[in-house]
C-alpha cells in the first residue's frame, strides 16, 4: 500500500467533467474513496446514535460508513430525488456493518425539516448522541455582481442557518457526553475569491462552533461542540460548482485533492469518548494548506 501522501490517491489533472448541482457519485471521475473497502472500525462509537446531514455522498458518506463501522446507528439527511441512489448506497454500507440506517429527504435550510430530523432520529433510535452538520452549498462566481441575491441567501440558509436550527432542535435530547460536529473549511482561514458566499458561511461556522461550545459547557450540559475544516476534497459538489475541476486540489502542498475517507477519521475522533477534553476546537484536514 502506498503511504506517501503525495501519491496515495489520484493526482490531477483529472478528466474534464461537469455536473448539474448538487452532483452525483456515478458521474465522478476518478471515483471518490469513502472507505468502502479500507475503513476498519474498532468500536469507538458503540451504542451511539447519529444524524449526518449531507450524508448521501462525499464527506457525509465517508463519515456515515465510518460511524457505522465504529458501532453507531445513523440517520442520513439529504436534499432531493437526484441523490436517492447515492443515499441508498450509503445506507447499504451502514446496514452491511450491522447498524441501522434511516433516510430522510428534505431541505435543512427549513427549520421545520430540522425539527423533523431530530424527532425521527429519537423515534427510530430512542436517543440521540451525535449531530454532524455537514450539508453545504457552494457556487463559484467570478465577481460580486455575478452572485444572485437568492443564491447568496440559499448558501447561508443551507450552510449556517440549518446548523442553528438543527442544534436548537437537538439540544433537549443530547445528554452529557454527546457531540456536535460542524463542517467548516480551509476557506474560513484562506478564502477562495470565487467562493465569497461559501467562504463567508464557513467563517461564521467557526465562530458558531467556538461560541456554542462555551454556551453549552458553561451551562453544565456536557455537550461538546467541535468542527472539522477540510481542504479541497474530491466530491460530486466539485464538478457541479467549480471551474476546471480537472485541476482541483493541485495547488495544495500535497499536490492533490483529499479523498472523503481521509476526512472521516477526524469526525470519528471528535464524536468518540477519546475526545472528552476537546471542545470548541477545529481539526484541519487540508492537504497541508495553512490554517493559522
97-127 residue pLDDT tens = 999 999 999 999 999 999 999 999 999 999 9
Is 67 within the bounds of a domain?
A: yes
Phi, psi for residue 290 in degrees, rounded to 5: -75, 140
Average pLDDT value for residue range 130-158: 98
Confidence of residue 94 (pLDDT cuts 50, 70, 90): very high
Q: How many CA atoms lie within 13 A of 289 on its CB side?
A: 26
% of the chain exceeding 70 in pLDDT: 100
Number of independent structural domains in the chain? 1
Q: What is the pLDDT of residue 95?
A: 98
Closest CA to 257 of 65, 9, 40, 83: 9
Dist. CA 32–CA 200, nearest whole Å: 27
Which of 165, 173, 198, 277 is the catalytic position?
A: 198
Predicted local confidence at residue 17, as pLDDT: 95
Compute the Cα dihedral for 93, 98, 103, 109 and give only its sign: negative
Distance CA 157, CA 165 (A): 10
12, part of any domain: no
The Cα–Cα gap between 2 and 190 comes to 30
pLDDT band at 78 (very low <50, low <70, confident <90, very high): very high
Residue 168 has pLDDT above 80, yes or no: yes
In angstroms, the first-to-last Cα distance of the chain is 32
For position 264, which CATH number holds?
3.40.50.720
Q: Is residue 9 part of a domain?
A: no
Burial level of 112, CB count in 10 A (0-12/13-18/19+)?
A: exposed
Q: Does residue 11 lie in a domain region? A: no
* pLDDT per position as a tens digit, 204-234: 999 999 999 999 999 999 999 999 999 999 9
Region 129-133: what's the mean pLDDT?
Answer: 99
For a pLDDT cut of 90, what percent of the chain falls above it?
A: 99
Decide: helix, strand or coil at residue 153. Answer: helix
* Inside any domain, residue 280: yes
Q: Which residues contact 123 (CB under 8 A, 6 or more apart)?
A: none
Q: Is 198 a catalytic residue?
A: yes
Surface-to-core class of residue 89, CB atoms within 10 Å of its CB (0-12 exposed, 13-18 middle, 19+ buried): middle
**Global pTM value:** 0.98
Would the pLDDT of 1 be above 90?
A: no
145 domain-assigned: yes
What confidence tier does 140 reach under pLDDT thresholds 50, 70, 90? very high
Please report how the helices 196-218 and 149-156 are oriented relative to each other, as an axis angle in degrees rounded to 10.
Answer: 30
Domain membership of residue 165 as a residue range = 42-285
In a domain, 88, yes or no: yes
Query: What's the pLDDT at 261?
Result: 98
**How much is the pLDDT for 292?**
86
**Model confidence at 2, in pLDDT bands (50, 70, 90)?**
confident
Give the start-end residues of each E strand in 54-145. 73-78, 101-105, 128-133
Q: 13-27: per-residue pLDDT in tens?
A: 999 999 999 999 999
**pLDDT (tens digit, 9 = 90+) per residue, 236-253?**
999 999 999 999 999 999
Residues 6+ apart with CB under 8 A from 254: 5, 6, 287, 288
* 155, 138 Cβ separation under 8 angstroms: yes
In contact, 180 and 170? CB cutoff 8 Å = yes
Which residues, listed in sequence order, are joined to residue 285 by a DSSP beta bridge?
230
Q: How far is CA 241 from CA 47, 175, 236, 261, in A?
A: 37, 38, 9, 21
Residue 82: pLDDT band (50, 70, 90) is: very high
| Owner of C-alpha cell 430522510 | 104
Residue 47 domain flag: yes
Amino acid at each position: 500500500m502506498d503511504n506517501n501522501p503525495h501519491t496515495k490517491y489520484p493526482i490531477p489533472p483529472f478528466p474534464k467533467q461537469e455536473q448539474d448541482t448538487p452532483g452525483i457519485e456515478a458521474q465522478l471521475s476518478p471515483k471518490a474513496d469513502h472507505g468502502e473497502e479500507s475503513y476498519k472500525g474498532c468500536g469507538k462509537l458503540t451504542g451511539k446514535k447519529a444524524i449526518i446531514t449531507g450524508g448521501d455522498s462525499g464527506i457525509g458518506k465517508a463519515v456515515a460508513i465510518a460511524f457505522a463501522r465504529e458501532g453507531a446507528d445513523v440517520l442520513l439527511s439529504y436534499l432531493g430525488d437526484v441523490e436517492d441512489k447515492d443515499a441508498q448506497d450509503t445506507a447499504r454500507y451502514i446496514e452491511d456493518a450491522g447498524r441501522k440506517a434511516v433516510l430522510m429527504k428534505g431541505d435543512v435550510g427549513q427549520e421545520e425539516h430540522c425539527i423533523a430530523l431530530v424527532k425521527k432520529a429519537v423515534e427510530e433510535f430512542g436517543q440521540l448522541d451525535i449531530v454532524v452538520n455537514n450539508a453545504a452549498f457552494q457556487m463559484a462566481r467570478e465577481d460580486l455582481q455575478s452572485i444572485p441575491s437568492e443564491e447568496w441567501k440559499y448558501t447561508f440558509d443551507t450552510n449556517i442557518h440549518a446548523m442553528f436550527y438543527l442544534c436548537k432542535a437537538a439540544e433537549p435530547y443530547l445528554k452529557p457526553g454527546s457531540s456536535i460536529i460542524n463542517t467548516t473549511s480551509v476557506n474560513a482561514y484562506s478564502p477562495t475569491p470565487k467562493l465569497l458566499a461559501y467562504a463567508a458561511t464557513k467563517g461564521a461556522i467557526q465562530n458558531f462552533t467556538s461560541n456554542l461550545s462555551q454556551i453549552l459547557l458553561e451551562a453544565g450540559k456536557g455537550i461538546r461542540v467541535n468542527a472539522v475544516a477540510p481542504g479541497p476534497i474530491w466530491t460530486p459538489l466539485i464538478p457541479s460548482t467549480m471551474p476546471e475541476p480537472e485541476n482541483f486540489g493541485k495547488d495544495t502542498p500535497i499536490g492533490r485533492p483529499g479523498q472523503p475517507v481521509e476526512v472521516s477519521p477526524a469526525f470519528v475522533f471528535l464524536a468518540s469518548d477519546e475526545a472528552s477534553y476537546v471542545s470548541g476546537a477545529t481539526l484541519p484536514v487540508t492537504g497541508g494548506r495553512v490554517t493559522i
